A and B are shown apart, each in its own frame.
Chain A
Amino acid sequence: MLYDNASIHDHWGDEYMQANGIHYVRLPPYSPNLQPIEGVFAELKKHVRSLVYEDGRYLDKPFHLMAAAFGMLTTAQVAGQFSRVSHEITRLLTGVAPA
C-alpha cells in the first residue's frame, strides 16, 4: 500500500497494517507527483462537476453524487495515472530532466 505523510496516517494505522500482513510504503515529503491516485482524484472531480451541472439535484445528495462519479471512473483512467507515475520513476532513476 502506498500513501503519503498526512497526519491522519498515524502509527496506529501502521500497526494495524503490520498486524494484518499489509506491506506499506510512505511517499517522500512533497511528492504528490509520485502518487497515482492524485491524478485519479482530478478525474473524479471532473465527473463530479459534470454530474452536478447536468442534474442539480445531486447537490442535495452528496453520497449519490460521489457514487455516480466513482461509477464513471474507468480502469483505463486509473491505469493512465499509474503509467504516468511509472514514467516519473523512470525519469528519477535515469536522471533525465522532464520535457
Chain B
Amino acid sequence: MTGRRRVSWCTSPSLPAAGRATSRCSVCCPFLFAANGAVPLLPVCFPFAAGRSRCAAAPVGLFFAAATRSGPPRPGHCLGPSFSSLPLHAGSRRIAATFLCVLFPPCYPLMGHRREMSVSAGVVETEFSVCRSSAEDSQSSRVMSVGTGSTTSSGTCSTLSSSSSSSTETGASDLSGDDSDAIPDGVVIFSEETREHVLGLLEECYPTRHVADIIGCSERSMRLWIKHFETNGTVWCHPRLHKHHNDAAIRNTHLTRAILALVETEPAAFLRDHVDLLVALSLDHPTSDHRWVSAATVYRVLRYHGYTRKKIERLYAESSEAAQRTFAVLIDEIPMRCLVSCDETHTGGSDVLRRFGRSRRNVPCILRDRDTRTMKRTSTMMAVTLTHGVLWSQTVIVGNAQTSDDWRLFLQCLHALMNTYIPGLPWEM
C-alpha cells in the first residue's frame, strides 16, 4: 500500500528524482508523518537535491507546521515558492486556519471572510499547478487536486475507478507514468456531504467560481445539485437511487416480481420463508437472477413497493376472512360466559424490564442507563372466563416453550375447576 501512495509533487519536473537525493528536509517529514498517523502514507523520505532550498513536500509540511506552531519557521528550513510570498511570520495561525477551512470543508463556517477563502484557494491552485504543468491531461490533474484536498478532509470525494482514499494515489500514478491506475476521463462522484457542503457555500453567497475551484466540481454540476435540491429536497437526481449497491435488488424486476408474488400469495410467511423459497427456486432454475437474496433484501424490496407490516397484516386478515366468518357463526351460538379461553405466553427480558426506565409521556428519560439485568424465561398457560377472570394458570421456567405434556397437565388441573356445559341449561363453573 505504501508503494502506491506516491504523491504527485515528488515527480514534478522542478524537483529532483527520488534516486538523486542527497539530503532531507527536517521540517516536512515529521509533520507529514504525524498527519498521516501511524502509517506513513507518503514515501519514507522526501529527498531534495543538495543546494536547493525546498523539497517536494514543503507546502504540506509547512502547512502542518503552521497549524501546530505559532512562531516563524526556523532559518534553514525549506520554503515552498508559494508559501514564501505569504506572511507566515506575521500570522501563521490565521493562515493555518484558512488552510484548515479549505482542507477540511465541514469547518468552513470557521473561516473569517471570503477574502481568506479566495487566498487559500489561490494557494492551493498554486501548489497543485506544479503538478498540473507536468501532467498531460489537465482533467486528470484536476481530479488529483480535488482528491488530495478532499481525502485529507475525511475523504468526502471518491472516483469511479478508486475509493476516496485512493484519489491521491491515482493522481500520483497518473503523473508518474503508471497508466494502469489512471482515472477514466476524470470522472468524479461527489458524496452527499460534499454536495450539501457546496450548497451551503453557495447559500452563503460565495462566488460560484471560487466554490468550483475549492471543491473541484464544475459549475454545471452545482447548478444541477441546486435544481435537484429544489425539486426533491436532496442533492440527487433520483433520491432513492443514489446508492447503487443497495438498490440493485429493487431494480431487479425478476426478483421484485418473485417477492411480490410470494407475499401476496402467502402473507403469513416470514421473511426467512421467502428467502428459503427464493433460494430453492434459484437452485432449480439457475438462470434466475436472485440467487443471493437475503432477508434484508426481501424486506427492502417489500418496503420499496409499499408492503409495510400493516399492509401485510391486512393481507393476513383478508386471507382468513372467510374462516373467521365461519367461526363467528359457530361461536355466536355459545354464550360468552360459557367460554374458557386458553393460551400460553412467554415472558422474557423485554417483557419484564423497562430498559430505559419510566418517564412521562413524550419526555425522554435520558438519565437512566440501559438495564442489563437478566431474568429466566418463563412460559405461562392460562385460562380465563368472562365471569371468573383468571381460572387457572401454570408457569414454568423453560428454554424454548412448553410441550404437549405440559398442555395435558394443564388440562387435568383445569378440568377439576370446570363444570360441564350442557347447551340450553344455565352454566356455572
Q: Write the residues of chain A forming the contact surface with B, with a CB cutoff of 8 angstroms.
A: 1-4, 6-10, 12-13, 16-17, 20-23, 25, 27-31, 33-38, 40-41, 44-45, 48-49, 52-53, 56, 59, 62-63, 65-66, 70, 73-75, 77-79, 81-82, 85-86, 88-89, 92-93
Contacts and interface: CB of A to CB of B under 8 A. Distances in A.
B327 A17 contact: no
Contacts of A77: 389
Contacts of B384: 36-37, 40, 78, 81
A49 B351 contact: yes
A52 B375 CA distance: 11
Contacts of B330: 25
A92 B389 CA distance: 25
A34 B317 CA distance: 12
Interface string B332-355: 101010011111110100011110
22 contacts: A1-B339, A2-B331, A8-B402, A8-B407, A13-B408, A21-B420, A25-B327, A25-B330, A28-B323, A28-B324, A29-B323, A34-B324, A40-B384, A48-B351, A62-B375, A63-B378, A63-B395, A66-B380, A66-B393, A66-B395, A78-B386, A93-B329
A70 B341 contact: no
Given A31-B323, A66-B393, 6 more contacts: A22-B411, A23-B421, A28-B320, A44-B382, A45-B347, A92-B327
A75 B389 contact: yes
Contact of A22 (B329, B345, B415): B415
Contacts of A45: 345, 347, 351
A1 B385 CA distance: 10
Most buried by A among B324, B329, B345: B324
Given A8-B404, A36-B341, A40-B382, A56 B395 contact: no
B402 to A, nearest CB: 6
Contacts of A31: 320, 323-324, 327
A31 to B, nearest CB: 5
Given A8-B403, A49-B351, A89 B332 contact: yes
Contacts of A78: 384-386, 389-390
Contacts of A28: 320, 323-324, 326-327
Interface string B397-429: 100011110111001100100101100000000
Nearest to B352: A52
Nearest to B325: A92
A56 B371 CA distance: 11
A30 B319 contact: yes
Contacts of B421: 23
B31 interface: no
A8 B406 contact: yes
- Ranked 3 nearest A-B pairs via Cβ: A28-B323, A92-B328, A75-B389
B395 A12 contact: no
Contacts of B190: none
A79 B390 CA distance: 10
A49 B352 contact: yes
A4 to B, nearest CB: 6
B327 A62 contact: no
B376 interface: yes
A60 to B, nearest CB: 8
A34 B331 contact: yes
Given A29-B320, A82-B336, A89 B386 contact: no
A48 B344 CA distance: 16
A92 B395 contact: no
A84 B44 CA distance: 77
A3 B380 CA distance: 14
B404 A12 contact: yes
A95 B373 CA distance: 48
Contacts of B402: 8
Contact of A73 (B323, B341, B390, B404): B390
Most buried by A among B317, B390, B395: B390
Contacts of B332: 89, 93
B417 to A, nearest CB: 12
A23 B338 CA distance: 10
B393 A93 contact: no
Interface in B206-244: none
Nearest to B351: A45
B74 interface: no
B336 A86 contact: yes
